[in-house]
Structure 1
Amino acid sequence: MKRICIIACVAIAGLSSCKKFLDTKPTDFYTPDNYYTSEAQLQQALNGVYGDLMRPELYAQVMGFNFVSTTDEVMSNRTADGDARGLRYNYDASLVHIGNIWKFAYIGIANLNQLLANIDKPEMDEGRRNIIKGQALFLRGFLYFTLASNYGDVPLVLRNLAISEVNMPATSQKGVYEQVEKDMKEAETLLAGYTSNKLGYNDVVTLTAVQAMLARVYLYWAGYPQNDASKYADVITYTDKVINSGLHALNPDYRQVFINLSKDQYDVKEIIWELGSSGAAAGVVNKPGNDIGNFVGIQSNLTAADTSSYNSAAWVWVTRKLFDAYEVDAASTATPFKSSLDVRRDWNCANYIYSGTPRVKVARNNVWQMCAGKFRREYCPAAIRNTNGVGGTYNINWPVIRYSDVLLMRAEAENHVNGPGNAYTYINQVRKRAYGIQAGNVVKSVTVSNGGSGYTVAPAVTISGGGGNGATATAVVSGGKVTGIYLSSPGALTTGSYYSSAPVVVIGTAWVPGATYAAGVQITNGGRLYTVTAAGTATNTPPTHTSGASDAAVTGAVFTYAGTAATATAAITNGTESDLTPGLGREEFQLALRDERMRELCFEAVRKADLIRWGNFVGDMQTFAAWATSNGASVTATGNVNGLQGLRNVSDRHVLLPKPTYELNLNHDLVQNPGW
């Protein structure tokens, strides 16, 4: 593996060449012999690996986008450039992105092997040495887990190689998993007591990050193709370690988790391990920008005159299956879609884009063409979002593993080992947060009781009282009437101010004496609707005139009767709406859990791997392609024809990525994966 020698050279020598690396008497650059002599140098070597995880070839772009963006939750909307990026299952072993995952994973492994070989070299505090060693072992295991779960059998390199060691057979996926387990278990011991709550940040590996990732390794190991069901017990063991640590909890507002990632604000309870892009933990070498929120984001253009603007290509759209998987309020009269009881739907499935110069917000009501809204660049700090209309780095951090995933893994393993009884405990925690009722009750629905008449624009909707705050809604107007109320937020979920009784709903702008009104504004007074036909300031005499008459007594403003005011009532939750249907059997619970993982973890690059480990990836994609065809995806104007074609391209060989062509040409002991 000549490339690994090259990488070790680059990492240590910096500007020096590999030829210089082989000189017997280096004088102007670092070599393994004269480096790793201090704690600072060990830490610097480790930081370099952390930084490289956020390269575009890995988690700054490819791992969260290229080969995971056409499943049943999201589909690419691209044609030729989509094929060039591997979005539509038209790639082959020569594609550069196929090679780069392999290449940069082994770069990291080579650098970690070098670090581990020299870990005992400097004199330093043993506690600090253990922390660096534990993180290095974990990262090596993590990179091998990445390789094995994507490529299957891969060469297992655990030492520095001689330049002549080129041909090396692959180790079985099981054998690689065994080494991952060994590295991570040793890391767990070395990192005892090293926790994100003590550090205050989570973009370095800590004890619970090791434990949570080990649970994921065991979950994959338990599924296809290894199908070692005994590993479900290990999933329970390691998820319980995270849960019982008391260090982690769900953020009460699902949306805030991803706003925090955009703002580079640490949430060490919800996010167990994230990869930092900019401004992360002190000493970690991070990248200045990434594509998170770009290809998988809400479409927008960047303009110099609009400091709130940002760039996002939005090269994927959600699927109707994902959108329809979220429960709706049956009583909702909102159109074109009923309000959802699940706050995740309208966050993940964005029903708007930004376009034009100046930018305007444009509704996107075709479900197959809704943008993936989880990572929203609009929340990035303005200082990095818009640099005089040019560039912009954005720097959204990547959530490698979250506490909700730990709970869902625990539920899945519990169901497999013991049945669904106790598994409800874990899945319902995730669902309760999703419905906004983790810590109290919220507004469940707003129902129009009288649509009124005479509306020419959608009136404002105000929700107040009931002991809570933060609930917001918008009105839908058709034929002069308010035909529905769309609940956009059930309440202020992060403040702990919840509702104890139904709040009052006011539709429209009330008449206020002394207020100044612009022409065209509609106001309500005494159950009547008025249109301001001449701008001005209102007196203390309220408008009371009948249809067609204007209020001459109001100086400076003229209010003309337009019709009757609409009314609506609100209802609040009772705390049980989120509970999964009780009494499910083992298979029914497993199916429900699969949908829950999609609702919760969509666009976080786990869906394809989930579908593969559940053992029917190709069949599931073929079934979904047929369903999508029958449910609007094939309609050019309102569907996603390009994404649908990508689904139809799925075959048995796509369960694994092909081993890169350049690697096969170099390492003659390596065997290509089936079908490639």
Structure 2
Amino acid sequence: MKRICILACIAIAGLTSCKKFLDTKPTDFYTPDNYYGTETQLQQALTGVYGDLMRPELYAQVMGFNFVSTTDEVMSNRTADGDARGLRYNYDASLVYAGYIWKFAYVGINNLNVLLLNIDKPKMDEGKRNIIKGQALFLRGFLYFILTSNYGDVPLVLRPLAISEVNMAASKQAEVYAQVEKDMKEAEVLLKDYTVVQSKFNDVVTLTAVQSMLARVYLYWAGYPQNNTAKYQDVITYTDKVINSGLHALNPDYRQIFINLAQDKYDVKENIWEIGSLGAAAGVVNKSGNDIGNFVGIQSAISATDTSSYNAAGWVWVTKKLFDAYEVDANSTATPNKASLDIRRDWNCANYVYNGTNPRVKAARPNIWQMCAGKFRREYVPQSIRNTNGTAGTYNINWPVIRYADVLLMRAEAENYVNGPGNAYTYINQVRKRGYGIQNGNVVKSVTVVNQGAGYTVAPAVTITGGGGNGATASAIVAGGKVTGIYLNSPGALTAGSYYSAPPVVVIGTFWTPGVSYNAGTQITNGGNLYTVTTAGTSTNTAPTHTSGASSAAVTGAVFTYAGQAATATATITIGNESDLTPGLSKEAFQLAIRDERMRELCFEALRKADLIRWGHFVTDMQEFAAWATNNGAGVTATGNPNGLQGVRNVMQRHVLLPKPTYELNLNRLLTQNEGW
């Protein structure tokens, strides 16, 4: 453990100025003995731990990317470099990334132990002291939860260690869970009056953040390998505390959650606790950006001539299993992929990339196995830091550690386990309603082509108006001169006053309007006919017409040549509870539905692998998925993801846990390696 102590000393030394290093009596060098003497210094020490959570070795990269990017919802598309980062389950205990979580979790724990040892040192308001102490205890418990979730049995260090204290045996995972519970429960008491109302931000720990995370701790404790199923009742207890607090609610627009994270807009109702990045909340240090939305994001390159451009590697692609998990509109004629009734699909599974650099071009990506993970979109990061003089900027997307939707799904899962699915429907259906965009009303469900028309040379615009709502958008798909399908891009604005009470009117193309100047090549419709402007000019009040045998219709100032019949389409809207989960499921079937719903809702938030592990069949699940993926095109080079498929095939029992770092085993002679490593 010596390395931990050394790194902790370095962290404390970061408060030091060296301008007088030759003085025999330094006046500006801080040690634990002469620090922690004021409320400000206590807060600074706590803030430093918050800041370190957004290190590349933790949530700025490793926690959301390495070791969690090949499951049944997402797969790496890399070869050798993917192995070097731990993406394809082809690594050993010496891999530096495998030790980062261990190293920097213990650095944080050591700094928190020093803070807690000195918490009573300054004279200050006791209420403020309790807030600092409560957050420190929670963070220590949280870091141990990270450690035991990733490494299993780990040493419990609850006080600052001397430099000579190197050898320390690992505590059993059950003991680590018990300490996590103890720290978090004490934090709950100390933070009993500290909520998002008081903090006004959610990138610091508040009461409901503690309660939400305790529910997650209990959920993991109840699953494999501890299988302490009595903890499901504790999940119910703690999720109920959050739900009944009235402080949290689902954002009616799923997409807006992640736009807010990119734009540093704090949604304290949906995001119970997020880790802040550049431009963080008052009292939390600013960071220099992160890799969120980069490796797990929509592929894009910087364009020196396009200041709206951004850089993202897109090193992972979604799986067809995830894409197919979202319900589609059976009546959709869109190709090659039918439109989905669930707005989460097209946000999470991005069907485009940005190709080229000068100029940057948005290009379609219709192959499902090669769609980018679209949840965290760098294109929504403020332009001022996204692209600086044609080079990559300091991208800042906050990380959602735990969201209210997760609380509802944990509540549904625990309820089903303890009491069966009866009351569990209440919680899962809330998440599903929001996923379908109908949390507060009805939206456009689908747009169906009635007449494909003929003569189209480009895809016409699709306009949706009326019906009492607004915000619905769609795109036409043209093949062979006909409109073969309509793809619903957005079902509506999903804000108060924007929901639909009746089917809106769908207009395909541009209607002829008198007094409008038309460019050559423009296609317009009139009287059910499609015309192409062959001579540019301004239209008069005389509308273009087409009669049998006539090839064109001239209007003064512009010539409109008959192209064919205009396409038409109609829209339908949702009614009532169309998103609700199938009623009457058995306990076992409901649990399977929970598994799928967590994937739809929480994909790419670094939870899927841990979920598969706690459900007890991680290796078997990956083997079954590998066979399914093989049979469904994942191994096809042109349209699949053979590199990712190989990663899935590499999964073995030892990958349930990360290996304990080699350097730590060399220092700590009482530490033993995890099985299989």
Bucket of the pairwise TM-score, normalised by the shorter protein: over 0.9
1:537 corresponds to: 538
User: Cα RMSD (Å) of the superposition?
Assistant: 1.5
SS of residue in 1 equivalent to 2:532: strand
Whole-Å separation in 2 of the counterparts to 1:17 and 1:451? 73
> 1:309 is aligned with what amino acid?
S
1:201-226 alpha-carbon deviations (Å, 9 max, x no partner): 10000000000000000000000000
1:263-285 alpha-carbon deviations (Å, 9 max, x no partner): 11010000000000011111211
CA contact (8 A) 2:554 2:561 kept: no
1:462-512 alpha-carbon deviations (Å, 9 max, x no partner): 111010000000111111111111111000013441000111111110111
> 1:551 is aligned with what amino acid?
A
When residues 24 and 421 of structure 1 are mapped into structure 2, their CA distance, relative to the original with a 3 A threshold, is farther
Whole-Å separation in 2 of the counterparts to 1:284 and 1:607? 29
2:334 corresponds to: 334
1:374-406 alpha-carbon deviations (Å, 9 max, x no partner): 000001100010101112111000000000000
1:618 corresponds to: 619
Q: Are residue 552 (structure 1) and residue 554 (structure 2) matched?
A: yes
> 1:562 is aligned with what amino acid?
A
Whole-Å separation in 2 of the counterparts to 1:498 and 1:8? 54
In terms of mean alpha carbon deviation, does 56-65 or 515-524 score higher? Answer: 515-524
Give the drift of 1:552: 2.9
Q: What does 1:113-152 correspond to in 2, within 5 Å?
A: 113-152=113-152
Q: Are residue 478 (structure 1) and residue 479 (structure 2) matched?
A: yes
Q: Are residue 46 (structure 1) and residue 54 (structure 2) matched?
A: no
Whole-Å separation in 1 of the counterparts to 2:96 and 2:286? 23
Q: What does 1:378-457 correspond to in 2, within 5 Å?
A: 378-457=379-458
When residues 197 and 582 of structure 1 are mapped into structure 2, their CA distance, relative to the original with a 3 A threshold, is same
2:598 corresponds to: 597
CA contact (8 A) 1:7 1:111 kept: no
SS of residue in 1 equivalent to 2:194: coil
CA contact (8 A) 2:199 2:206 kept: no
1:510-561 alpha-carbon deviations (Å, 9 max, x no partner): 1111111111111001111001112221111111134663333321x21100
Q: Are residue 584 (structure 1) and residue 613 (structure 2) matched?
A: no
2:57 corresponds to: 57
2:156 corresponds to: 156
Query: Any gaps of 5 or more consecutive residues in structure 1?
Result: none
CA contact (8 A) 2:539 2:555 kept: no
CA contact (8 A) 2:17 2:28 kept: no
Whole-Å separation in 1 of the counterparts to 2:426 and 2:347? 25
Q: What does 1:229-244 correspond to in 2, within 5 Å?
A: 229-244=229-244
1:168 corresponds to: 168
> 1:211 is aligned with what amino acid?
Q
Whole-Å separation in 1 of the counterparts to 2:579 and 2:554? 54
2:653 corresponds to: 652
Whole-Å separation in 1 of the counterparts to 2:27 and 2:458? 76
Q: What does 1:568-583 correspond to in 2, within 5 Å?
A: 568-583=569-584
1:250 corresponds to: 250
Give the drift of 1:200: 2.2
Whole-Å separation in 1 of the counterparts to 2:214 and 2:125? 28
Give the drift of 1:79: 0.4
Whole-Å separation in 1 of the counterparts to 2:199 and 2:30? 31
> 1:456 is aligned with what amino acid?
T
TM-score by length of 1: 0.98
> 2:106 is aligned with what amino acid?
Y
Whole-Å separation in 1 of the counterparts to 2:34 and 2:310? 46
Q: Are residue 502 (structure 1) and residue 503 (structure 2) matched?
A: yes
1:194 corresponds to: 194
> 1:553 is aligned with what amino acid?
V
When residues 387 and 548 of structure 1 are mapped into structure 2, their CA distance, relative to the original with a 3 A threshold, is farther
TM-score by length of 2: 0.98
Query: Any gaps of 5 or more consecutive residues in structure 2?
Result: none
Give the drift of 1:646: 0.2
1:218 corresponds to: 218
Give the drift of 1:24: 11
SS of residue in 1 equivalent to 2:247: coil
1:462 corresponds to: 463
CA contact (8 A) 2:310 2:392 kept: no
Give the drift of 1:5: 2.0
Give the drift of 1:341: 0.4
> 1:266 is aligned with what amino acid?
Y
Give the drift of 1:6: 1.4
2:262 corresponds to: 262
1:444-465 alpha-carbon deviations (Å, 9 max, x no partner): 0111111111111111111110
Q: Are residue 364 (structure 1) and residue 378 (structure 2) matched?
A: no
Whole-Å separation in 1 of the counterparts to 2:54 and 2:530? 56
CA contact (8 A) 2:203 2:281 kept: yes
In terms of mean alpha carbon deviation, does 511-520 or 137-146 score higher? Answer: 511-520
In terms of mean alpha carbon deviation, does 472-481 or 235-244 score higher? Answer: 472-481
When residues 537 and 311 of structure 1 are mapped into structure 2, their CA distance, relative to the original with a 3 A threshold, is same
1:609 corresponds to: 610
In terms of mean alpha carbon deviation, does 533-542 or 379-388 score higher? Answer: 533-542
Whole-Å separation in 2 of the counterparts to 1:275 and 1:67? 20
CA contact (8 A) 1:617 1:655 kept: yes
SS of residue in 1 equivalent to 2:392: coil
> 2:556 is aligned with what amino acid?
V
Whole-Å separation in 2 of the counterparts to 1:474 and 1:183? 53
> 1:604 is aligned with what amino acid?
E
- Matched pairs, number: 673
SS of residue in 2 equivalent to 1:551: strand
CA contact (8 A) 1:522 1:532 kept: yes
2:278 corresponds to: 278
> 2:54 is aligned with what amino acid?
M
Whole-Å separation in 2 of the counterparts to 1:300 and 1:554? 47
Whole-Å separation in 1 of the counterparts to 2:32 and 2:205? 25
Whole-Å separation in 1 of the counterparts to 2:10 and 2:319? 43
> 1:142 is aligned with what amino acid?
F
Whole-Å separation in 1 of the counterparts to 2:13 and 2:127? 28
CA contact (8 A) 1:548 1:562 kept: no
1:94 corresponds to: 94
Whole-Å separation in 2 of the counterparts to 1:166 and 1:198? 42
Whole-Å separation in 2 of the counterparts to 1:607 and 1:515? 54
Give aligned-pair identity as a percent: 82
Whole-Å separation in 2 of the counterparts to 1:359 and 1:534? 32
Whole-Å separation in 1 of the counterparts to 2:542 and 2:84? 68
Give the drift of 1:179: 0.3
When residues 225 and 25 of structure 1 are mapped into structure 2, their CA distance, relative to the original with a 3 A threshold, is farther
Whole-Å separation in 1 of the counterparts to 2:550 and 2:482? 18
Whole-Å separation in 1 of the counterparts to 2:577 and 2:17? 64
Whole-Å separation in 1 of the counterparts to 2:97 and 2:186? 32
> 1:117 is aligned with what amino acid?
L
CA contact (8 A) 1:211 1:241 kept: yes
In terms of mean alpha carbon deviation, does 660-669 or 24-33 score higher? Answer: 24-33
SS of residue in 1 equivalent to 2:166: coil
1:672 corresponds to: 673
CA contact (8 A) 1:8 1:114 kept: no
Whole-Å separation in 1 of the counterparts to 2:25 and 2:272? 45
Whole-Å separation in 2 of the counterparts to 1:135 and 1:26? 32
1:512 corresponds to: 513
SS of residue in 2 equivalent to 1:552: strand
